[in-house]
Amino acid sequence: MRKKFIFIVLVPLVVLGAVTYFYLDSWVESGLETAGESLVGAKVEIDDLRLGLFPLRVQFERLQVANPNDRWKNLFETGRVTFAVDANQLLRNKIIIDTVEVRNVILGTKRTTDGSLPQRPDQKDAPPSFAMQLAKQVESEVRSVPIFDLEKLRKDLNLDSLLRIQNLLTIQHLDSMKHQALALSGQWKSTLADYESTRQRVMNIESNLRTIHVNELKTLDAITAAVNNVNTSYNTLREINETLTTRKNAITNDITRLTGSIGHIDDVVRADIERVKSLARLPELRLGGVTDLLFAQQLYAEAQTYLGYVDLVKRTVRKYTPKPDFERPKRFEGQDIHFPVDRAYPRLWIKTAHLSGGTDAARDPNYISVSGDISDITNNQSLTGKPISALIRGTKGNRMRLEIGASLDRRGNHPLDQYRATISGIPMGEMKIGRASFLPSRITQSDLAINAAVTVPGRTFDAQTTVSFREVRLVFEQSPRNTVERLARDVLDRVRNFDTHLRAWNTEGRMKIHFSTDLDNELYEQTKRVLGEELNRIQNEIRSKVNQKIAEKRQEVERVFEEKKQEALARIREYENLLGERLALVETKKRELEKHIEEEKAKGIDAAKKKLEDAMKGLIRKQ
Amino acid sequence: MFWLNIVSNFLKILRAGQTPVQIAGGFALGSIAGFSPHLSLQIIAVWIVILILNVNLSAAFLSFTLFGIVAFLVDPLFHLFGYYLLVDVPGIQSFWTSLYNAPLAPMTRFYNTVVLGSFVCAFLFSPIVYFGMKRFVVVYRATLGARVEQLRVYQIVSKSKIIRMYQRMRDLGE
């Protein structure tokens, strides 16, 4: 044993103990602040922390947690916070707290100092948050909403430039039709040229037939030769006729096909009209378009703010993941190997945090005072077996009421966050609506009520919000500049209460948003009534100009096609007539020959009969 | 200069003064503290033992530094050894489990591979360090010290301006 033990060991130990005693509070305070900042990503400040050792309890007078999305505001601040730590579990390196008493909880208070922290490298590579996805989607949605300024539209509408040849598919279609008609006409000409060669054969047959004079045929051989001649002519003409019919059918098919294509021109013209209308950016009169212009941008911005909070909670409350079997840690860090525990406690478990909004006297009417319970705050829900749940009620100036319920479940394979919020009596100081380009105006007075339900399973989410405006007072910043502004203003002037519904969801990897209000129908009907006619007129003008531009070309194509068609059909008819006449001639000759043969037969029988009678008579006389 | 003072004191003590047992004891205990990468509960206990027992503090500090450097170099081996003890030796799993559930024991961070590996190694090596150092002091005082002091390097270093200036400043302070 060291002789100067008291000086070497005891005195330093006493000094160490004294220093620890006096500085332990600030060390614990600083440790809690650092841990909180690493969770939230913004400054966490604790004032006047006092540590009681027997029993082990912590108390501090004020807690401020800065908003990571708005460095000059707090997410919340509290009054006195008191909690007792389970000393037995603390010796096992676990922080188990039965109840935390939190007084005077106030949301969204202003800060006097900057609440931001230097950005961490992992935040730079973080996947896009729901709020960022929503902002991106809103930007594209808002850009796609057309401005209903017909006067400006008419002024900017330059139909001549829109009706350039390259914009009109009909012109190209007609050119193609003309080329087809000319090409087919060439084919028909070569086909009809073949007819010319057969015409000579037909004429030869005719002259050959005309040399047959039936009445002059006296002998059997002459008659037989004439019959053979007529039969051969008949067969040849039938063969020519069949060939003609086949070729005529081919040409008729070509004509039918081309006629069909010409009939299809109307469809192409309609498509061209639609294309020109789209290039002219004619607005569609659709339900919700006007209300999108009026309210969507502002409400999306609000929704984005609240989705930011959802993102923040999702990032902060993480699923507990055990370490892998073997790691290669940095030097001096090593790897922690965990063993089964008799009664499993997580590293941190606050069983209940009881929030009280403080007394009426202590309440600041400018901020929201909050009371309620948050249960089972932990770093490992698999061990507690319970999700973090919260039921919080808040008031602001005895007028506004809010109730927020939340469940943050990290027990399954995929995290599941669910929120529902009901807020009523929100005094809305002033809210800008419309846009600089469409009915810029302000709601100067209104009561708002919000009903929201948000579900965030894994990386997807679905948020539905109904915002009810009550006792609305509107101020329009300038006179209506166009018809739609005037109509929207007329409708809004009469409205005192209305509801808006916003749904934003991301279930298939892409953010979708839908916005509607119960003003949609009224605004739509009013707009349709007045603007429908004007829009129809512009559309008719476009239709007529497109038709006019196309008409000349169309007529030319139709004329060329008709000429070639008639020419081909006339030639075919001519040949049909020619063949028909010759076939009739053959038929006539055939009939004459048959008649002649019958006559000759009859003559032959009579002569034989007479010879026989004469012979019979001679025989009778001899007897 | 603090470490220079430690070395200077250590060399003086090697020559005469405290017993070889005191010097070797301080050196061995300092080696246990030096091997550990963190200031855990058991290392605080080791330092208290150093302060309570009448061992040489200079030897303890010097040993703490030297073995701290050695620990940095062989850290991967400590990690492997600690992992082997915690995971691959089935016979002592129940012991680790009960220790893990006991109060205070988790605060030693025994379940960390490097903490356990280094502590067990230090504990196993400490008798060797103790007896080795004790033997070294005896030999140094008998024969080695005179030879070392005659070395040219020792004379150059001990008579250097820096060392003399430091000694004067130190004496002024006293």
Mean local confidence (pLDDT), B1-6? 64
Residue with tokens 């729901």: A130
Could you tell me which chain B residue has the CA closest to the CA of A326? B83
Q: Are residues A313 and A40 in contact, defined by beta-carbon separation less than 8 angstroms?
A: no
Beta bridge partners of A428: A446
Which of A4, A96, A325, A331 to mutate to probe the B interface, most B CBs <10 Å?
A: A331
List own/partner pairs for A203-212 with CB under 8 A and 24 or more apart: A205/A233, A205/A236, A205/A237, A205/A582, A205/A586, A206/A582, A206/A585, A208/A233, A209/A233, A209/A582, A209/A585, A209/A586, A209/A589, A210/A585, A212/A589, A212/A593
A335–B113 C-beta distance less than 8 A: yes
Res A155: pLDDT: 63
**DSSP assignment string, B91-115:** GGHHHHHHHHHSSSGGGGTTTBHHH
Could you tell me which chain B residue has the CA closest to the CA of A342? B101
A337–B53 C-beta distance less than 8 A: no
Written as six digits, the tokens of A517 are: 């209000």
Q: Are residues A465 and A451 in contact, defined by beta-carbon separation less than 8 angstroms?
A: yes
Helices and strands counted in chain B (H then E): 10, 0
Q: Does B94 touch chain A (CB under 8 A)?
A: no
A340–B97 C-beta distance less than 8 A: yes
**For each successive 10 residues of chain A (623 residues), what is the average pLDDT?**
70 86 86 83 90 87 88 88 87 83 87 81 58 67 56 62 69 83 82 77 83 78 83 85 84 86 81 75 58 68 72 70 64 81 78 78 72 89 88 84 91 86 81 74 83 86 86 82 73 80 79 78 69 72 79 84 85 84 84 83 79 73 59
Q: Are residues A62 and A46 in contact, defined by beta-carbon separation less than 8 angstroms?
A: yes
CA B143 centroid distance within chain = 25
Q: Does B78 touch chain A (CB under 8 A)?
A: yes
Q: Does B92 touch chain A (CB under 8 A)?
A: no
Could you tell me which chain B residue has the CA closest to the CA of A332? B37
- Those residues whose C-beta lies under 8 Å from the C-beta of residue A401, and which sit 6 or more positions away, are A393, A394, A395, A423, A424, A425
Q: Is the pLDDT of residue B128 over 90?
A: yes
Res B117: pLDDT: 94
Strands A348-356 and A95-103: parallel
CA A72 to CA A110: how far, in whole Å? 6
The secondary structure of chain A in percent helix, strand, coil, rounded to multiples of 5, reads: 50, 25, 25
A332–B114 C-beta distance less than 8 A: yes
pLDDT tens for B137-150 read 999 888 887 787 77
User: Which residue in B111, B112, B115 is closest to A339 by CB distance?
Assistant: B111
Mean local confidence (pLDDT), B124-131? 94
Give residue A473's identity as a one-letter amino acid code. R
3-state secondary structure of B156: helix
DSSP A214: G
Res A323: pLDDT: 47
Q: Are residues A102 and A355 in contact, defined by beta-carbon separation less than 8 angstroms?
A: yes
Q: Are residues A485 and A438 in contact, defined by beta-carbon separation less than 8 angstroms?
A: yes
Written as six digits, the tokens of B85 are: 């003890």
Q: How far is CA A170 from CA A124, A260, A264, A268, B7, in A?
A: 53, 15, 10, 6, 100
Q: Does A332 touch chain B (CB under 8 A)?
A: yes
Q: Is the pLDDT of residue B41 over 50?
A: yes
Written as six digits, the tokens of A591 are: 């009939």
- Those residues whose C-beta lies under 8 Å from the C-beta of residue A111, and which sit 6 or more positions away, are A64, A66, A71, A72, A73, A74
Could you tell me which chain A residue has the CA closest to the CA of B47? A9
Task: Kindly give the interhelix angle for B20-35 and B41-52, rounded to the nearest 10 degrees.
Answer: 170
Domain coordinates of chain A in residue numbers?
A: 162-281+556-592
Domain coordinates of chain B in residue numbers?
A: 2-173
Q: Is the pLDDT of residue B170 over 60?
A: no
Closest Cα to residue A513, out of A503, A499, A522?
A503
Please list every residue in chain A whose beta carbon sits closer than 8 Å to the beta carbon of residue B83: 326, 335, 337
